[in-house]
Chain A
């Protein structure tokens, strides 16, 4: 058998060699597909083929051309060349193709051909025959009754492009395919398969997204679908830290980074020991993962690697840990506090771990209500779990409620404080009070002695050192050679006692007692009381929320000063307060929440001298001055033609005043005068109607108003003022000055004599300067007949002969324009502006609408009228208009130049008609016609157009008077303009 093979091989080799030698024969090795399979999940298609064993034996380089088609119609998808150097050991050739369309969606067919691609066969290259088609049938060829959607259970990375297909049974119809809530375009379709492509898939809100294929069959709609999981490979674990609490196991924690949206498994690998531990409990908890690692008692250093893995990838992060550098002690348990004495306690706690190989630093917080917590540190040797820890805390205050708590950390390699222990509270023991009660006295004179009210303040907790049981009051009066002492015990809730003592020197002692003992005594000496020295009260000023008191330094004061005052100065108890001030001070700011604005407070300043407390100064002041509530009452004591004397009464020094009265304001107003504002002055003068005189002397209670007008009524008022303001002006009195008869007589005499003197002077002057007056006031008027213009043959006449202005013609007013009516100086509506035709008529009536306006109330009107001349008949003339109100009043004739506007006024006319008469012809007949082109000529009845030579014209004649055009009035508006009237712009 072996021999046969050898012979066969040799024969084959010889045959090949022969063919090669021939040079014209082509060598082909047609491939034969032997196997074809798919991986549905990976969407990969595997194909295996073979060629003749001679090709393997010859070890030739071959190129295979692979055609891949889809569906039964063999739609070409891939045309690929695959090169391979064949080896003798090769038994089969393979090619893998990854499809974007799930392979179940439709049939995939492959065929292959080959070519020898070897240098040895350069001249013999030719493609072999194609292999037979090999097909993997898709589900669209199967006889299915349910629809199928592919890919199924796919997990892809965020942003991937993915193709879905839906295969339906025969006879069914796909209605739509949706991914999420969107419909995507179809990229492949045959009778039973429809495919869509989704680009850049996002991470779904619910972790996965559904591809739904809705199809119908026999009018029944069905949903089928698949779920696509979209996520990311695990991010590198961030902020990886490992620590131990009990030195038995380490807890590693990290931040997982970007969310994977997939189930990700974590594990820890330790490099030195080579051990591995899965993190079964590493669930996401507040975006932090935790995993435990058991500590080996013989290993101190660890190189830990946290590995993360999910379907899409894996990542890791490492950390080197010295276990003794990462101790985070457990929370102290069984925490207790026990008192040692009034100022010290012992705190106890346990730590349920073996810390015997480390040193601990523990911190005890001491908290007192309303105070900042203090911290007490103690360095302690670590203990076995069975042994607890303790430390003494001193410098506490007696009889005080404290709360304590403790936490610990490693002393040598500090890593983290443990959690705080539970809080424990304790009240420290009592002690004797460390200070004497703050004591003061209030003395009230009595018969043969004084009633002394002894007052003291409750000791603050900081010095009471316990609960005060009662007070002891001892007062001792000393006379020459003997002393008398009395003691009283007062309950703790009382803070004053009143005792009667004689006028002799007296020593008062006040002590407080706790359950442990007496406080030091508070001593006040009352000197031998003689007659009271009168001490002036000084005023003090307020400084914000307090009153600033200062006094003179007294060298005999040896034991400080006391300032006392009453918080409620007008109440029976007075609520006496005091403040002790050291000897070197001479001022103090007294503040009290009970101080009220507008209340007068009195302060006594006492100095402790060798024989006792002496009153040194008195002060009085307001925390804030207010305006007085009452005004002074005024009385008029005397009135004269020019003088009013007024008095008023006012309790300026009354204790109840809400401020120090600084003076008064006297208000003077003439009757009937309206006073918006009073002008403030320091003294009265009769220059204005409203005056306000300021009097800055509270003791002044009268004022004399001088220089008043006789026989005039005045209104007077007086107010008081403080720094806080002025009292309300409540009562005003009216006073009149009397008549000044003498002045009237003097005035009459003065004017009679004065006028007589002027008259005499004028008559004398007139007689003396008669000629000069005549020339000045009545000069000779030039004669118009002498005018060169009208002189026949004169050059001026010739020059103006053709001038239309010199052509004379009768002037008849043919139009009369009422431009506007003004009522009460307000222009009526513009529509009143009418052109009223007066052609061939000597009068016209006001239109109805004017009458209507006028009916309702009397009014003053001004009408502006404009007569227009007929230029063909007139060169120029003077128009005489008469306007009258029919039935009521006629106007005086007014002489107006033609084409000049005429203002005719009247008032208080009801229901009027308006008549205008024009007498132009009459005027023309009576007057000599005048025409001139310049205005520097004047005319009178007897002469005209003579050069004025500086004389003012009596009537000015406008050169264009007889033109047809009507001058425009800039302030009028024509609402309706007749066509026969031209307007000059």
Chain B
């Protein structure tokens, strides 16, 4: 049995009692779907970059990228639900923009891998759907929509670093969706 360590605070409960359960259900379904997409994208990304990215033991030391959210569960758990939803919103917007940069890098690095490029192209639009849903639920809960203004994202100059950069983005995307699926599963169950 899976045990999720998520704190439930009053704003959540007020939401759960409302008539917007279908909206929560919808976001939960979407998060499940996006988690699946993100997992496929990450796998496809690693396969497209060649060895050692496609090697199961590859675990490069990743440096924090300015503007890219850190989807660490321990960090997210300690947030209030309002902060949590706001953080989800910021993460979705940011990841979407980072993936657009990754796409441009990959057009040069893997110009012939059309299937992978297509999947990468579709990802920002899919995340945009989640952003829109988060916007709706935060509006219902009267949570202020955070203003996300990202400075221009600089991709590394070296091709190898670009690959690592893209890996970090795709990994964050997957981890964020993994977290959100758990978060909204709990919300939906409640």
Chain A residues with CB under 8 Å of chain B are: 149, 152-153, 178, 180-181, 204-210, 212, 220, 222-227, 229, 261, 263, 284
Contact = CB atoms under 8 A, between A and B. Distances in A.
Contacts of A225: 160
B50 interface: yes
A449 B160 CA distance: 109
A207 B110 contact: yes
Contacts of B159: 152-153, 208, 226-227, 229
Given A223-B60, A224-B160, A263-B108, A207 B53 contact: no
Contact of B48 (A149, A206, A223, A226): A206
Contacts of B128: none
B61 interface: yes
Contacts of B111: 207, 263
B160 A227 contact: yes
B97 interface: no
B163 interface: yes
Contacts of B109: 207-208, 227
A181 B160 contact: no
Given A207-B111, A210-B50, A227-B158, 16 more contacts: A178-B51, A178-B52, A204-B50, A205-B50, A206-B48, A206-B50, A207-B110, A208-B50, A209-B51, A210-B49, A210-B51, A210-B160, A212-B51, A212-B52, A226-B158, A229-B159
B51 A180 contact: yes
Contacts of A224: 160
Interface string B48-78: 1111110100101100000000000000000
Nearest to B61: A222
Contact of A210 (B61, B112, B163): B163
Contact of A284 (B51, B108, B112, B113): B112
A219 to B, nearest CB: 13
B60 A180 contact: no
Q: From DSSP, what is the main secondary structure of chain A's interface residues?
A: strand
14 contacts: A149-B160, A180-B51, A181-B52, A206-B48, A206-B50, A206-B110, A207-B112, A209-B51, A210-B50, A220-B61, A225-B160, A226-B159, A227-B160, A284-B112
A225 B111 CA distance: 21
A369 to B, nearest CB: 42
B151 to A, nearest CB: 24
A442 to B, nearest CB: 74
Q: How large is the interface on B (under 10, 10 to 19, 20 to 34, 35 or more residues)?
A: 20 to 34
B158 A210 contact: no
A222 B60 CA distance: 7
A289 to B, nearest CB: 14
Given A207-B109, A223-B58, A263-B108, A153 B51 contact: no
Contacts, number: 61
Given A180-B51, A226-B158, A206 B113 contact: yes
Contacts of B52: 178, 181, 210, 212, 223
A671 to B, nearest CB: 89
A225 B167 CA distance: 14
A205 B112 CA distance: 11
Contacts of A210: 49-53, 160, 163
B50 A209 contact: yes
Contact of A226 (B108, B112, B113, B160): B160
Interface in B11-59: 48-53, 55, 58
Contacts of B53: 210
Contacts of A227: 109, 158-160, 163
Interface string B160-176: 10010000000000000
B12 to A, nearest CB: 41
Interface of B: 48-53, 55, 58, 60-61, 108-113, 158-160, 163
A212 B163 CA distance: 12
Contacts of A209: 50-51
A176 to B, nearest CB: 11
A181 B112 contact: no
**A-B pairs, 8 with minimum CB distance:** A227-B159, A206-B50, A225-B160, A181-B51, A223-B60, A227-B160, A226-B160, A210-B50
Nearest to B49: A206
Contacts of B110: 206-208
Contacts of A208: 50, 109-110, 159
Contacts of B112: 207, 261, 284
A561 to B, nearest CB: 74
A224 B159 CA distance: 11
Contacts of A207: 109-113
A212 B52 CA distance: 8
Contacts of A212: 51-52
Contacts of A205: 50
Contacts of A223: 52, 58, 60-61
A181 B160 CA distance: 16
Contacts of B158: 152-153, 226-227
Contacts of B50: 180, 204-206, 208-210
A207 B60 CA distance: 22
B3 to A, nearest CB: 33
A514 B163 CA distance: 79
A535 to B, nearest CB: 83
A697 to B, nearest CB: 86
A222 to B, nearest CB: 6
A225 B61 CA distance: 12
A229 B110 CA distance: 10
A550 to B, nearest CB: 73
Nearest to B159: A227
B112 to A, nearest CB: 6
Contacts of A222: 60-61
A208 B50 CA distance: 8
Contacts of B55: 181
A504 to B, nearest CB: 90
Contacts of A261: 112
Nearest to B54: A206
Contacts of A149: 160
A210 B51 CA distance: 7
Nearest to A154: B159
Contacts of B51: 178, 180-181, 209-210, 212
A220 B59 CA distance: 12
Nearest to A264: B111
B70 to A, nearest CB: 20
A36 to B, nearest CB: 26
A224 B60 CA distance: 8
Nearest to B51: A181
Contacts of A152: 158-159
Contacts of A178: 51-52
Best-surrounded residue of B53, B61, B109, B160 (most CB of chain A within 10 A): B160
A214 to B, nearest CB: 9
Contacts of B113: 206-207
A500 B97 CA distance: 96
Best-surrounded residue of A212, A226, A229 (most CB of chain B within 10 A): A212
Nearest to A222: B61
Nearest to B162: A227
A212 B110 CA distance: 18
Nearest to A179: B51
Nearest to A207: B110
Contacts of B49: 206, 210
A791 to B, nearest CB: 119
A349 to B, nearest CB: 36
B55 to A, nearest CB: 8
A395 to B, nearest CB: 51
Contacts of A153: 158-159
A152 B159 CA distance: 8
B47 to A, nearest CB: 8
Best-surrounded residue of A152, A207, A229 (most CB of chain B within 10 A): A207
Contacts of B48: 206
A225 B51 CA distance: 11
A34 to B, nearest CB: 32
Nearest to A182: B51
